[in-house]
Amino acid sequence: MSKKLFTSYALIVFVIGLIAGCAPAAIVESTATTAPQPTDTAASQSTATAEQPEPTVRSATPGRLILATTTSTQDSGLLDYLLPDFEKEFNTEVDVIAVGTGQALQLGKDGNADVLLVHARAQEDAFMQAGDGSRREDVMYNDFIIIGPESDPAQIKGTATAAEAFKKIAETGAAGNATFISRGDKSGTHTKELAIWKSADIAPEGDWYVSAGQGMGEVLTMANEQQAYTLSDRATYLARTQNGLVLPILVEKDKSLLNPYGVIAVTSDKGPQINSDLATKFIDWIISVPAQQKINEFGVADFGQPLFVPDSKPWNDTQGGE
């Protein structure tokens, strides 16, 4: 059974417009963040001032589930690994919209997705508190890493904390000797990056700081080509090392780099188009012990370690966890 993967706004808007029978409109991006935003690029300035059109709400899709999720679950290969089992068990199809976490949450807020798989806990909690979601569960976690050129001009290798590493990168970048590539897309990774800059008391700006506005895979490609530093989730990084990525991990295992993922059912109050039944089934399935076991095995054959660590309550109960 096939699943349709939509990885760009053009495809998202096309599908929504086709179903709803009206002209397509762009999805409004989430702006939930307390960390400083980069101000050095024309792209970020134009994004800040651009008028945002009203979102188009899709029509009902009985028998199908629309999952809005992060690019890391797509780029790592996790969705291709997991979703066929769900589709087979429930005789359904899952349409995946892979974007940044902020955009995925906005799709839920606008009633254009049934269920979300994201990784920015503060934004997830705000989504729930606003009444946009009816249920949230822990699913898994991995961690973020800081990667960069082998020459390491900022001398961050082995630095104890991410904030200290970012300070060194900013100092070296300001001197014209280093480049940092930012997701710049309001994703969970971008949110984490901005939080690190904030903890380092730095507002990143200047020619050394490039706000890409792209997903994790594209940013890793850019960093590799430009021999630049960037922040990545470990799963996508490891997957990309099989496709020519040669930048080494320079900073890891700082507790501030933990990267938990949650699954959220969009509230049925968003309208009759929300497939609450399938959303509930998906949540029950992905937090179940069999699905969690598959998550625990993902990546082991290729990398000698799982790319994600299962963390649902049913799974932890079987492991003696809390």
Asked whether the predicted pLDDT for residue 135 surpasses 60, the reply is yes
What is the pLDDT at residue 139? 98
Cα 289 → chain centroid: 23
Least confident of 32-36, 138-142, 175-179, 311-315: 32-36
pLDDT of residue 321: 52
Burial of 48 (0-12, 13-18, 19+ CB in 10 A): exposed
What the block records as the tokens of 313 is 């309550």
Q: What is the DSSP letter of 60?
A: P
Apex 252 CA angle, 248 and 256, nearest 5 = 145
For residues 139 and 261, give the distance between their C-alpha atoms in angstroms, rounded to a whole number: 6
Q: Please tell me the distance from the alpha carbon of residue 27 to that of residue 18, in angstroms, as a whole number.
A: 15
Residue 97 has pLDDT above 60, yes or no: yes
Closest to 94 in 3D by CA, of 121, 119, 117, 124: 117
What share of the chain in percent tops pLDDT 90?
A: 74
Residue 115 has pLDDT above 90, yes or no: yes
Question: pTM to 2 decimals?
Answer: 0.75
Provide, rounded to the nearest whole percent, the portion of the chain with pLDDT above 70: 81
Tens-place pLDDT, residues 184-195: 998 889 999 999
- Residue 27 pLDDT level (bands cut at 50, 70, 90): very low
Mean pLDDT of 5-28: 38
- Tell me the three state secondary structure of residue 309: strand
The stretch 132-139 carries a mean pLDDT of: 98
Position 202 scores a pLDDT of 97
What integer is the mean pLDDT of 209-234?
Answer: 96
Q: What is the pLDDT of residues 242-255, one digit of tens each?
A: 889 999 999 999 99
Which domains does the chain possess? 5-142+260-319 (3.40.190.10), 144-257 (3.40.190.10)
Nearest-5° angle of CA 121, CA 124, CA 125? 85
Q: Which two tokens stand for residue 127?
A: 């989504």
Residue 281's nearest CA partner among 13, 26, 47, 85 is 85
Check: CB of residue 114 under 8 Å from CB of residue 93: no
3-state SS string for 63-85: CEEEEEEEHHHHHCCHHHHHHHH
Q: Which pLDDT band holds residue 40 (cuts at 50, 70, 90)?
A: very low
